[in-house]
Amino acid sequence: MARKGHKYIFVIGGVMSGVGKGIASSSMGLVLQAKGFSVNLVKVDPYLNVDAGTMNPTEHGEVFVLDSGLETDQDMGNYERFLNRDLGAEDYMTGGMIYQTVINRERALGYGGKCVEAIPDVRNEIQQRYESASNVNESEISVIEIGGTVGDFQNALFIDAARVMKMRHPDDITFVMVSYLPVPGSLGEMKTRPTQNAVRQLNAYGVHPDFLIARSKYPVDEKRKRKIAIACSMRTDHVVSAPDIESIYDVPLNFEKDKLADALTDALKLPSKKNTDLSEWRKFVRAIKRKNSIDIDIAIVGKYFDTGDFVLSDAYLSVIEAIKFSATVAHATPHIHWVNAKDIEHGDVEEVLSKYDGIIVPGGFGESGIEGKIKAVEYARVNKIPYFGLCYGMQLLVIEYARNVAKLDGAHTAEIDKKTKHPIVAIMESQKENLEQDKYGGSMRLGAYPANLKKGTLAYGAYKNEQISERHRHRYEINPKYVEQLEKSGMVFSGTSPDGVLMEIAELPKKVHPFMLGTQFHPELKARPLSPHPLFTAFLKATVVHKKNT
């Protein structure tokens, strides 16, 4: 059972998907937190995948890994970035997870011989998860975003579980619909009808939204607010205008202008707390929009860039945001350029890469474009261009060094070449079994692990700490058998697992290269607006120096 007096805000989409429910939920979380409430944000993904780990990032956006190791949707990244805190495994659920639990329970005779049904058994499991998320977090308010749009077949049980909770605890639950108001080009006029219909559709579920966040190209005027309010039996001041804006980080500030946090807490019959304090956030938003005198051009070299219809900015969302946050500290205006590794593989590396002030090779899997990425690493190393390798990008940094400096001919990763003479990157023993048994889902080295840093290195200089904790998502590791030889050739493993067996950070000494560093973990997953990641900051500062010197 939920703790007594715990409050829930359910966020449901109307009209169509992709209008910013995740950002609206994150922003509601932030304005309530800024008022002094403890808040947890929960994402419900109705699909039947048990987690997001098996989904293609170019189609579904990046896989965001939590400390716990759970592979989740990119919205969880936004939630953590807005709230500036880690969220737990309870804060994410999928249809697959719910059904798996129910079916496992049935197999274990957990239903005592009864017929197991979507209603009430699956619905009860959903409700129980809504409640346990708030219990684990010990929060006062849970903002729960139900994925999809009203009318979807898949999310109906999730909405119904919320309805039952509202029926039992009417004062503790409020519903917010995030809807879309089109402005058809032929008319040039904002239309409210699709939204009115979406509200009616939700009404047919037995749920009435108390608030409407009206997403549109333009602000919603008072006349239309009144029209929606009357048509949808809603208070006019509960219709919140949410026009397209320059930066997603403006959304909480706009909500604050509309006093949304006060309206939500009133609706939930919460005692009023302090005035909303968004001063740090406001400072950050100002900094992120500032046009700095120095522009830096960063190449992200990857393989996914030629697969047709996709949104790259979603596939690498955390990397892009991490760059933006650190740019506020490095006082630079970053410009990100997507570089297809295959263009380097088959073309002139100098021609493709010479215009950039810094190069990133992000996380990745498989063979496609790999020799192009390795060429990019070599180009950065030889030409002393700041290089930052994230996971795969670190493994390739070490492979390039092994091949070209340590003279280990044919050095490779066992992921691509199982028979390589020099498996510089090898599979962990525990992972072998997983692959042999086709256990792919949720089986990588996942989540937060501690690492120790060596003093006097680039990594230590950035973190200013001997112990760190970072999030992982990989199957392969730097092969311990080659560590000594690589170190003799000049490579520095500046971060290792506490037992010294796993290499967590590889870098070159500053006297050899201004910034050549890669991490086996994904630092971008812990970069936050109010606490930019120290390694991204160090990388960007190096790119600024590089730019000034060229």
Active site residues per annotation: 391, 522, 524
- Peptide bond before residue 120 is cis, with ω within 30 degrees of 0: yes
| # of chain residues touching ligand GLN (CB under 6 A) | 10
Residue 476 token pair? 């392969």
Beta-strand pair 239-243/173-181:
unpaired
Of 61 and 363, nearer to ligand GLN (C-beta) is 363
CA 120, 125, 130, 134 dihedral sign is positive
Contact residue for ligand GLN among 313, 365, 428, 510 (CB under 6 A): 365
Q: 189, 255, 203, 257: which is closest to 234 by C-alpha? A: 203
Give the whole-angstrom CA distance, residue 201 versus residue 391. Answer: 45
Minimum distance of ligand GLN from residue 299's CB (angstroms)? 17
Span of 26-34, 202-210, 472-480, 539-547 interacting with ligand GLN by CB under 6 A? 472-480
Minimum distance of ligand GLN from residue 396's CB (angstroms)? 9
Span of 113-121, 148-156, 200-208, 469-477 interacting with ligand GLN by CB under 6 A? 469-477
473 scored as a contact of ligand GLN (CB under 6 A): yes
363 scored as a contact of ligand GLN (CB under 6 A): yes
Minimum distance of ligand GLN from residue 238's CB (angstroms)? 43
Span of 10-18, 196-204, 287-295, 473-481 interacting with ligand GLN by CB under 6 A? 473-481
Of 129 and 474, nearer to ligand GLN (C-beta) is 474
Minimum distance of ligand GLN from residue 75's CB (angstroms)? 20
Span of 70-78, 178-186, 341-349, 358-366 interacting with ligand GLN by CB under 6 A? 358-366
Which residues lie below 8 Å from residue 229, measured CB to CB, with a gap of 6+?
Answer: 235, 236, 238, 239
Q: 157, 268, 239: which is closest to 205 by C-alpha? A: 157
Of 23 and 300, nearer to ligand GLN (C-beta) is 300
Contact residue for ligand GLN among 403, 412, 422, 475 (CB under 6 A): 475
Minimum distance of ligand GLN from residue 200's CB (angstroms)? 45
Of 70 and 264, nearer to ligand GLN (C-beta) is 70
Query: Rule CB under 6 A: which of 476-535 touch ligand GLN?
Result: 476
Minimum distance of ligand GLN from residue 71's CB (angstroms)? 11
Residue 459 token pair? 């990594």
Span of 91-99, 325-333, 360-368, 377-385 interacting with ligand GLN by CB under 6 A? 360-368
Give the whole-angstrom CA distance, residue 37 versus residue 41. Answer: 13
Give the whole-angstrom CA distance, residue 201 versus residue 494. Answer: 57
Of 392 and 482, nearer to ligand GLN (C-beta) is 392
Of 98 and 446, nearer to ligand GLN (C-beta) is 446
Beta-strand pair 332-340/387-390:
unpaired
Query: Rule CB under 6 A: which of 258-317 touch ligand GLN?
Result: none
Which residues lie below 8 Å from residue 507, measured CB to CB, with a gap of 6+?
Answer: 457, 458, 459, 491, 492, 494, 516, 517, 518
Minimum distance of ligand GLN from residue 475's CB (angstroms)? 4
Q: Report the helix count and the strand count for the chain, using DSSP H and E.
A: 21, 21
Give the whole-angstrom CA distance, residue 237 versus residue 213. Answer: 11
AA identity, residue 318: S
Phi/psi of residue 474, nearest 5 degrees: -160, 160
392 scored as a contact of ligand GLN (CB under 6 A): yes
Minimum distance of ligand GLN from residue 365's CB (angstroms)? 4
Residue 197 token pair? 């219909």
391 scored as a contact of ligand GLN (CB under 6 A): yes
Contact residue for ligand GLN among 163, 303, 381, 474 (CB under 6 A): 474
Distance of alpha carbon 37 from the chain centroid: 23
Span of 43-51, 284-292, 470-478, 502-510 interacting with ligand GLN by CB under 6 A? 470-478
Which residues lie below 8 Å from residue 104, measured CB to CB, with a gap of 6+?
Answer: 110
Per this entry, what is the length of the chain?
Answer: 550
211 neighbors 197 (Cβ within 8 angstroms): no
Please report which residue ranges of 110-237 form alpha helices under DSSP H.
123-137, 156-168, 193-203, 222-231
The residues of the shown chain that bind ligand GLN, judged by CB under 6 A, are 363-365, 391-392, 415, 473-476
